[in-house]
Copies of this chain bind each other. A is one copy, B any other.
């Protein structure tokens, strides 16, 4: 006798609209569309033969136990591998500080579950990563935005936000930020850490792209600047393969205890088959060489896009200059609405994400996010030319 109405559902879900980006991505899956919309790694760079071989060895190595239930924290050897890599960067992180998750997205969901009561404040970047907004929105967080520019967070805004509210979490993507591609400068990181240290909040460093640096200097990890208050999220989606759905989180012991309870209630543990295949791949291959190849490739794709933008977009266009990651960010003439542009450009088989989707307040309608990792250099050149024409005729 059931006809569902909103009253059937929890408040939290009635507040969340279906993701606009998800709708865009559906449209852009057709192969005749040149898509700068998603955040997909370049498929040709997947180490598919190596992962295929690793999957066979994982079966041989583990036997039937490979297919059994496993522990909530995740494969110990895999966590040791991740910890050892941090230790080589002089970060004091051990296997027991690490929880394996289904990509970074699950880490965000678990953080929401563990920290956020309805109405609790979370500081976020503006513009910022939609997946984090969506995860926290489901726990009915109140968002406090801090603007970002080419150097990172606006420190006086951050001070203001932290002074006026008891924020539980400060969410950051300091390396090759999504959507803008900018990185926090060394000074900016230190200033952010200084402000957060005055509070009892936790800073989340979401770092899915950190290893995809193709130019510039490595910057400090918040885990070294603010070890007691940093929660660090990592992912194998951008470096090895998204289909594994494997990422991790590093958190102080008191937080980890709660995260493990939440993870157990969420899905017992991440696929131990996927974890075993991944660990075998990491053991059997030169991962550093693979990462260097990715960085070389994405660096080239970024330059191709940058040059094409210079050639085909109006001279007034401002473009960020990412030193890594998958995205750059364009700011067009103030009169332009990129949502209106999108309608024309998708008819001409080129997709991007209108910038307004990423803002929580102070929306700049003349912005757009462009992904350069998903398409070949030829298609990047062609797509940007078409997009340039669309803008010019606007």
Contact = CB atoms under 8 A, between A and B. Distances in A.
Interface stretch (A83-91, A242-250, A336-344): A242-250
Interface in A90-138: 101-103, 105-106, 109, 113-117, 120, 131, 134-135, 137-138
B48 A64 contact: yes
A286 interface: no
A16 B261 contact: yes
A237 B271 CA distance: 11
A43 interface: yes
B64 A59 contact: no
Q: Of A63, A103, A109, A271, which is in contact with the most chain B CB atoms at under 10 Å from its CB?
A: A271
Contacts of A19: 261, 264
A67 B243 contact: yes
Contact of A13 (B22, B38, B114): B114
Residue of A18, A64, A200, A257 with most chain B CB atoms under a 10 A cut-off: A64
B43 A68 contact: yes
A35 interface: no
Contact of A244 (B10, B243, B271): B271
Contacts of A155: none
A390 to B, nearest CB: 26
For the complex formed by this chain, how many copies does it contain in all? 2
Nearest to A12: B113
Nearest to A203: B2
B10 A114 contact: yes
Interface size class of A (residues with CB under 8 A): 35 or more
A255 B9 CA distance: 8
A239 to B, nearest CB: 12
Given A64-B46, A69-B40, A266-B266, A200 B105 contact: no
14 contacts: A2-B200, A10-B120, A12-B117, A13-B258, A13-B262, A48-B66, A67-B241, A102-B102, A102-B267, A102-B270, A135-B266, A245-B271, A245-B272, A271-B271
